[in-house]
Amino acid sequence: MGSLFTTMVSTAGAMRSLQRSLSVVQNNIVNASTVGYARQEGSLIANPFNPNSNSTSGGVASGPISSSRDAFVEASVWKTQHRAGFANSLSTKLTEIERTFPLTAGSGISGEIDKFFSTVSQWSVSPNNPVARRQVLDRAGSLAQSFNQAALDLGDAAGRAGAEISASVRKINRLTAEIASLNRQSRESLANSTDAGLDSTLHAKLEELAQYVDFTALSQEDGSVSIFIGGQTAAVIGDHQWPISVANTSGGYQIIDSDGGDITSRIDEGKLGALLQFRNTLLPNYQGRLNTLAQGFADNVNGVLNGGLDLNGAPPAKNLFAYNAGIGAAATLAITDITGAELAAAAPGDPGGNSNALDLADLQSAGIFSGLTSAQFYSELTSDIGDRLNTEIANRGLQRQLLLQAQNVRAELSGVDINVEATKLLQLQKGFQAAGQVMSVINSLTETLLGMLN
Amino acid sequence: MQQPILPSLIATQSAFAQLAPQEALEHLEAALRTLQGLTASLHHGDRLAPADQRQLERSLLRFRTELRDAAILADQGLAYCQDWAQQLQPPASYQPNGVCADTTSDRHEFSVEA
């Protein structure tokens, strides 16, 4: 039978174990709303108990504290974060430029093209009217300005996207530096490697990083996490960080790893992936098509006018439109210093006539862009932007739902449920109260028995 | 009368320590039945040999010590429940008049009588 000393030591040990269990659950409750926190589970281990031994035996000891974090579920949340970050960022950028290409009749470049041809038609009715000639020049100037404005808007969007790419890279580097620092703390001691607070801070950083770039995270035995951007480029291993950088080249923005290698193609998700696709692929495509429209329109108008005779019966010496293809036709499109009298309304052999003006008006319905009219070519460009925007908005909604679902699954597995904790509390209260009553009766009975024996 | 065997309350203490008061209660009820049986037997005039009586007295003293320790653990458990209840309690809530006030509810408060 154990001695009184044995009982006291056993009881003291049990109280320490109890205190530790209480600390674990209290920590769960106060961290119920902490981002990245996973419910911790304390464990208790019964000590070997030999009632015939005089040595200290029996009682209970604290076992290891385990985390309810599920690596697969965490990876699932990160993956959804990558995709949600991509759809959210790309839809925002496309919304910015969609305003440049309005689909409303009579507005934007499409409206200016219609107005130009309408003015040309009026001019063909009275080809020698100086007011009508002046109006053609004015409309041509307005059309050139609308191309200039659209090109300027796209250029501004490119500039903003570039700045956001640089800001995203700085943010990614700051987060990976913080993760490397947390890894260092985790490696410092065994206690740190299992510390719930450190673990939740680390996972909050990983979740923030997941919004910016897709990565693979590998958990190590020492509690640290290695990060590989795009699944290949090491960004963090242990307490060492390899920062990435950004380079603005003629081919677009490039993401460079610490060895100087171009890793742009590996980044196709997250906010950074969306910005790179917008800045390097989508915007150049839209800018190129806008330039094609401006250049093709100007060349065809100039070509028709140069084939006729001006008010004086002479071939025109000047083009109506001028542009610099090297800089960009849309951005540089302008009317020359041509005068109204120098506009060629008449066809050769018919001075004073309107045949050339009618030919110019016919350009409105001519398939000068691989069979498409100017309006159709422009419409195709705007509908491509609109379609892509609608796709990304729908994708953004879907990814938000998927992210919510993944986060809910994680909360089910790793979160702290206050209702469950409250139910546990009520059960414990009733149990302790009932036990207290029984112990009170037992205590009285024991005293009675001792009295009877004496 | 044969020498009665008093139960150990070590398992009860262990159950309290593991936050399992229901399990502790089962052990206590078993101990209670043993004590009630012993009391009834002594009331009926059963007698023990002097050596067995001293042995029973020592066992009762040991039992009383274990019971006291179990009560300490139960106190700890109840104190924990109160702390737990405070953690679950919102720090403030809206009153029917729309005023936000500190929560003073005592719905989780209880007393220890062991």
Name the nearest CA neighbour of A298 among A312, A282, A319: A319
Q: Which two tokens stand for residue A124?
A: 């063909």
Task: Closest CB to B88: pick one of A49, A422, A427.
Answer: A422
Position A321 scores a pLDDT of 97
Contact of A219 with A199, CB cutoff 8 Å: no
pLDDT of residue B112: 41
Mark yes or no for CB contact B8/A428 under 8 Å. no
- Distance, in Å, from the CA atom of B87 to the CA atom of A26, rounded to the nearest integer, reads 8
The answer to whether the CB atoms of A58 and B10 lie below 8 A apart is: yes
Q: Would you call A319 helix, strand, or coil by DSSP?
A: coil
pLDDT at position A120 over 90: yes
Q: Which of B10, B17, B36 shows the shortest C-beta gap to A18?
A: B17
Higher pLDDT, B83 or B40: B40
Residue B113 pLDDT exceeds 50: no
Q: How far apart are CA B31 and CA B15, in angstroms?
A: 14
Do the Cβ atoms of B87 and A26 come closer than 8 Å? yes
pLDDT average, residue stretch A122-128: 93
For range A66-86, the mean pLDDT:
84
Mean pLDDT of A302-323: 94
Q: Find the CB nearest A431 among B8, B21, B60.
A: B21
Do A435 and B18 make contact, defined as CB atoms within 8 angstroms? no
Return d(Cα A10, Cα A47) in angstroms, integer: 9
> For residue A45, what is the nearest residue in chain B, using CA coordinates?
B18
Q: What do you get for the CA distance between the two ends of chain A, in Å?
A: 23
Place of tokens 């290949």: A232
Task: Supply A407's token pair.
Answer: 């986060």
Task: Give the pLDDT confidence score for residue A304 in this predicted structure.
Answer: 96
Decide if pLDDT at A406 tops 70.
yes
Residue A3 has pLDDT above 50, yes or no: no
Q: Which residue would you say has higher pLDDT here, A79 or A5?
A: A79
Q: Which of A158-162, A285-289, B3-7 has the lowest mean pLDDT?
A: B3-7
The whole-angstrom distance between A205's CA and the closest CA on chain B is 27
In this predicted structure, the answer to whether residue A88 has a pLDDT above a threshold of 80 is yes
More confident residue, A60 or B47: B47
Specify burial of residue A51 (Cβ count, 10 A radius: 0-12, 13-18, 19+).
exposed
CB A76 within 8 A of CB A406: yes
The Cα of B98 is separated from the nearest Cα of chain A by a number of Å equal to 25
Inter-CA distances, B42 with A451, B59, B62, Å: 11, 16, 19
Q: What pLDDT sits at residue A429? A: 80
Nearest Cα neighbor of A268 from A115, A126, A82, A433 is: A82
Both structure tokens of B107: 């719905």
Q: Would you call A45 helix, strand, or coil by DSSP? A: strand
On chain A, the residues whose CB falls within 8 A of the CB of B8 are: 51
Element (H, E) at B101: strand B100-102
Closest to A275 in 3D by CA, of A420, A157, A141, A427: A157
- With the C-alpha atoms ordered A279, A280, A283, A287, is the resulting torsion angle positive or negative? positive
Tokens representing residue A57 in the block: 């035996």
CA dist., res. A265 & res. A237, Å (int)? 22
DSSP A288-315: HHHHHHHHHHHHHHHHHHHTSB-TTSS-
Residue A98's Cβ-side half-sphere holds a number of Cα atoms within 13 Å equal to 18
- Minimum mean pLDDT among A84-93, A182-191, A345-354: which range? A182-191
Cite the DSSP H helix spans in A189-282. Answer: 190-193, 196-212, 270-277
pLDDT classification of A9: cutoffs 50, 70, 90: low
Phi, psi of A358 (to 5 degrees): -65, -40
Q: How confident is the model at residue A2 (pLDDT cuts 50, 70, 90)?
A: very low
- Chain B closest-CA separation from residue A106 CA (Å): 54
Dihedral of CA atoms B75, B80, B82, B87 in degrees, nearest 10, equals 170
Q: What is the pLDDT of residue A161?
A: 96
pLDDT digits (tens, 9 = 90+) for A188-245: 876 666 677 788 888 889 999 999 999 999 888 777 899 999 888 999 998 999 999 9
In angstroms, the CA A315 to CA A129 distance is 18
> Is the pLDDT at A368 greater than 80, yes or no?
yes
Helix or strand run (H / E) with residue B100: strand B100-102
Q: Is the pLDDT of residue A360 over 60?
A: yes
Q: Roughly how many angstroms between the first and final C-alpha of chain B, as a whole number?
A: 32
- B45-103 pLDDT, tens digit per residue, is 777 788 888 888 889 999 999 999 899 888 877 877 777 777 666 656 666 666 666 65
| Residues in chain A within 8 Å Cβ distance of B114 | 435-437, 439-440, 443
- The count of CB pairs under 8 A between chains A and B is 161
- Give the Cα separation of A425 and A419 in Å (integer): 10
What is the phi-psi region of residue A430: left when phi exceeds 0, alpha when psi lies from -120 to 50, beta otherwise? alpha
User: Among residues A198, A169, A257, A199, which one has the least CA distance to residue A70?
Assistant: A199
Q: pLDDT above 70 covers what percent of chain A?
A: 84
Cross-chain residue pair B65–A7, CB shorter than 8 Å: yes
Q: Read off the DSSP letter of residue A51.
A: T
What rounded mean pLDDT belongs to chain A? 86
pTM, two decimals, is 0.68
The pLDDT of A134-139, averaged and rounded, is 96
- Reported as a single tens digit per residue, the pLDDT across B3-27 is 678 888 988 988 887 778 888 988 9
Residue B110 touches chain A, beta carbons under 8 Å: yes
A438 vs B13, B29, B69: nearest CB: B29
C-alpha dist (Å) from residue A49 to A1, A44, A52: 11, 15, 9
Dig out the tokens for B78 from the structure.
Answer: 């109840």
A365 has a pLDDT exceeding 50: yes
Instruction: Kindly provide the ipTM of the predicted complex, given to two decimals.
Output: 0.80
Choose among A192, A200, A174: nearest CA to A35: A200
pLDDT at A8 over 80: no
Instruction: Provide the chain A residues 133-152 that lie in CB contact (below 8 A) with chain B.
Output: none
Mark yes or no for CB contact B16/A428 under 8 Å: no
- Candidates B42, B36, B3; CA nearest to A444 is B36
Q: Which helix (H) or strand (E) segment is A218 a member of? A: strand A215-219
Beta bridge partners of A262: A256
How far apart CA B109 and CA B101 sit, in angstroms, is 20
CA–CA gap between residue A349 and residue A222 (Å, rounded): 92
pLDDT of residue A350: 85
The SS3 call for residue B4 is coil
Determine contact: B52 vs chain A, CB below 8 A. no
